[in-house]
Amino acid sequence: MRRLATTVSLITAGEAENWTGMAATAVMSVCADPPTLLIAVNRSASIHSILRVGGNFCVNLLSERHQDLIAIFSGGRKGADRFKDGAWTTGARGLPLLSDALASFQCRVETIVEAGTHTLFLGIVEQVNQHSVFDPLLWADGAPAALRPLQATEIKE
């Protein structure tokens, strides 16, 4: 699984003083019509119960400039303290939104599926915010990585 390079996301949920979040790589686009994202959340994660009850979440795709947020949202801090660093604002439905994220997808939970130790939440995208700079922060082989476009000489015909 460490060979599956993916964009690092911060999944956020909750309202007002009950904001919560986690770092995640288990995020995928399911379909474009309606626009739907899937997130996989371990049932032991603190955000899990809020997602089950709250019905809304935001997927904030991280940029290279957000590398420090990974440790904070991976257990470095708890609860609302996770939102002390970063350009956080309140999005639709009171969701925590990283205003300078590569993109933020505010979703309404449509379907919940149990899978082993995790719960899969499928959310209909209701609002999207995008940043003008495209520099995704990737996770590959257990560490942060950056996207590097291939040069024409590297592309095999």
What are the pLDDT digits (tens) for 93-151? 889 999 999 999 999 999 999 999 999 999 999 999 999 988 999 998 888 888 877 77
Question: Cα–chain-centroid distance for residue 133?
Answer: 18
Cα–Cα dist 90/93, whole Å: 8
Q: What is the pLDDT of residue 15?
A: 84
pLDDT on residue 79: 85
Q: Per-residue confidence at 153, pLDDT binned at 50, 70, 90?
A: low
Using DSSP's 3-state secondary structure scheme, residue 153 falls into helix
pLDDT of residue 157: 59
pLDDT computed for residue 45 by the predictor: 94
Residue 155 — very low, low, confident or very high, per pLDDT cuts 50/70/90? low
Q: Using alpha carbons, select from 47, 35, 49 the residue that is nearest to residue 107.
A: 35
Residues 40-99 have pLDDT tens digits of: 999 999 999 999 997 899 999 999 999 999 999 999 999 889 999 999 999 978 899 999
pTM beyond 0.95, yes or no: no
41/46 Cα distance (integer angstroms):
10
Q: Are 109 and 126 in contact (CB under 8 A)?
A: no
